[in-house]
Amino acid sequence: MACALIFWLLLFTALATPSQGKRLGPTPHLRYSRFLDPSNAVFLRWDFDFEAEVITFELQVRTAGWVGLGVTNRYSRAGSDLVVGGVLPDGNVYFSDQHLVDEDTLEEDGSQDAELQGLTEDAVYTTMRFSRPFRSCDPHDQDITSDTVRVLAAYGLDDTPKMDRERTFVKPIFLLQIIHPDDLDAPEDTIIHDLEITDFLIPEDDTTYACTFLPLPIVSKKHHIYKFEPKLVQHNETIVHHILVYACGNASTLPTGISDCYGADPAFSLCSQVIVGWAVGGTSYQFPDDVGISIGTPLDPQWIRLEIHYSNFHNLPGLYDSTGIRVYYTAHLRKYDMGVLQLGVFTFPIHFIPPGAESFMSYGLCKTEKFEEMNGAPVPDIQVFGYLLHTHLAGRALQAVQYRNGTQLHIICKDDAYDFNLQETRDLPYRAVIKPGDELLIECRYQTLDRDSLTFGGPSTINEMCLTFFFYYPRNNISSCQGYPDIIYVAHELGQEVSDSMEGMMALSNVEWTPESINKAEKACKEAQQTVIIKTIDELVENTTGWIRDINPPPRGLCLESSGGKVEPQDKTPAGFRAAPVVLSGSSSAPLRCLPLAALLFGQGALSWLLATVQAGI
């Protein structure tokens, strides 16, 4: 009865003042979606407002019980946040912003920062839709950032929220994907071309780098490749670690067949300018509408090297594979020809990570001062629009930092929650401009608590890499710019007497690795002079030297406060204020059970009016 009275009161108010009311319209479309569990019973849709710093989720679960969605970390579910909701048998809803005190115990937050937008239940699904700020002022809420986010989903078969490990799922997702593929043009004259190996017998070795050389599409005039995606054989998906396509200089003499990329025949390692790349967890990627990979002109590469990294850890016999990259190209030309610049630590054993490290930083420096000389022509400003981060299993975080005239300019991209199983090309929210003379520093953080011996840089998945690929325009001839520390200096700082680099690498095995020696090694690697190796598409190589500069971390930013929020000391000036959503769990007041419906139908202003009316004793 009370709900009916409230409904008619609000309806009368809305009709009487149409200019101030919120029109009831269709539910906004959420552009992104993902299944969160192996059986496809838990489905997530989401979208976000980058300027308002608010994200909206819709969780649909095959259950008639409670559902929950939140964010967790890599190491423990304790401290995870979880928004919980459901529909009771009598049709009333409950909804609450909570957190995990330990692996199994839920507790309601003191500050309710999730705003309910809808909660329904039908014969098959319970669906909960809510919004929350990227960063609230509640210390129990995890931030939504441009890093990889470990999304936590859970549900039950009844309406008593209780964590059950069989119904709890964690999936790493890049939530803040700036550009959705549906927002980009798909030319009507699109042509598809596959760059692949066929019926390749995967060796029974842990690690195989298979390379072959293939022609790019033969066209009579200039075209642009505007999209690429992996082409994988389903049962071999977990064995293919990464796929890279390298452009070859037109003066190169290339071998035939398929062979080990870095084996006895050095010809199979020719061509070093990456043009597209895919790694574990990645999907298709479409370039922005104003850029593409040029093919069909005398200046464009005619051949590529296809590199496929297989990780056959279980040494399975008799596996045949047909894997590669599918490219989409068009005669409708874009404004800019794009290129890819490879940055980071030069991949060879001077790059090392000690065992038993909670955290260990590696650094790779790039100095652009020689780019123009090596390019053979003036190098216009490099406009970076996308990036791909890459380490192996010990990698935990990466960032790319830009310096100009000795001063830090930007952190161009980073991922403080890097996940080996989610390596995908990502768009920048802006175009980063690299000018001649700028320095670029790649920092990688590793953890090796599960290892009892040194980890060296190398091609195997159990070796390590520290790489960042910048997707940029306009194209130049520079393919890579990578650095590594003076290993002789590092060995001396660790108390080892050595006279050359080989002795320096060998001496690392003599070090007793303790937290103190690990810290000393990290400090020495940062202080050591870096050798910078710059390479062009035509395999021209030049070296220079430089020093690692300090990195100033960005401020965490202001939080969005809700009513009753617990403001942290560093958040004295919140970014904004909005009323707290009404919490329905455990409420016995019939009018309060109607509040979410009132807010959905008539807007937050009507809800505020209704609360005042209820409190006055309706």
Q: Is residue 96 part of a domain?
A: yes
Of these residues, 224, 390, 403, 473, which one is catalytic?
390
Residues 437-452: tens digit of each pLDDT:
999 999 999 999 999 9
User: Do 358 and 461 belong to one domain?
Assistant: yes
- Domain edge (last residue) among 536, 554, 572: 554
Residue 122 tokens read as: 């039908």
Q: Is residue 24 part of a domain?
A: no
User: Do 323 and 353 belong to one domain?
Assistant: no
Q: Is residue 36 part of a domain?
A: yes
| β-bridge pairing 200-201 and 168-173 | unpaired
User: Do 95 and 216 belong to one domain?
Assistant: no
Using CB atoms within 10 Å of the CB of residue 511, give its burial: 0 to 12 exposed, 13 to 18 middle, 19+ buried.
middle
Q: Is residue 599 part of a domain?
A: no
Of 186-200, 233-247, 360-374, 465-479, the one with minimum mean pLDDT is: 233-247
The conformation of residue 79, written as its DSSP 8-state character, comes to T
- The stretch 518-528 carries a mean pLDDT of 98
Whole-number average pLDDT of the chain = 86
User: Do 373 and 293 belong to one domain?
Assistant: no
Distance (Å, whole) CA 202 – CA 189: 36
Residue 209 catalytic?
A: yes
User: Do 37 and 120 belong to one domain?
Assistant: yes
Residues 149-178: tens digit of each pLDDT:
999 999 999 999 999 999 999 999 999 988
Residue 390 catalytic?
A: yes
**Using omega within 30 degrees of 0 as the cis cutoff, is the peptide bond preceding 474 cis?**
yes
User: Do 78 and 98 belong to one domain?
Assistant: yes
Number of domains present in the structure of the chain: 3
Q: Pick from 274, 190, 181, 284: which is nearest to 229 by CA?
A: 284
Q: Is residue 16 part of a domain?
A: no
Q: How confident is the model at residue 563 (pLDDT cuts 50, 70, 90)?
A: low
Asked if pLDDT for residue 328 goes beyond 60, the answer is: yes
- Cα–Cα–Cα angle for 133, 137, 140, rounded to 5 degrees: 95
User: Do 532 and 505 belong to one domain?
Assistant: yes
User: Do 320 and 380 belong to one domain?
Assistant: no
Asked if pLDDT for residue 597 goes beyond 80, the answer is: no
pLDDT value of residue 74: 85
Q: Is residue 128 part of a domain?
A: yes
Please provide residue 484's backbone torsions phi and psi, each rounded to the nearest 5 degrees: -155, 155
User: Do 277 and 395 belong to one domain?
Assistant: no
Q: Is residue 580 part of a domain?
A: no
User: Do 152 and 250 belong to one domain?
Assistant: no
- Cα–Cα–Cα angle for 370, 299, 365, rounded to 5 degrees: 25
The CATH number covering residue 196 comes to 2.60.120.310
pLDDT value of residue 398: 98
- Domain edge (last residue) among 554, 585, 613: 554
| β-bridge pairing 339-345 and 439-446 | unpaired
User: Do 332 and 342 belong to one domain?
Assistant: no
The CATH number covering residue 475 comes to 2.60.120.230
The CATH number covering residue 148 comes to 2.60.40.1210
The conformation of residue 268, written as its DSSP 8-state character, comes to G
Q: Is residue 385 part of a domain?
A: yes
Q: How confident is the model at residue 273 (pLDDT cuts 50, 70, 90)?
A: confident
Share of the chain above pLDDT 90, in %: 69
Of these residues, 209, 336, 418, 484, which one is catalytic?
209
Q: Is the pTM of this model over 0.85?
A: no
User: Do 298 and 373 belong to one domain?
Assistant: no
Query: 494 is in which domain, residue-wise?
Result: 338-554
- Domain edge (last residue) among 149, 173, 197: 173
Asked if pLDDT for residue 484 goes beyond 80, the answer is: yes
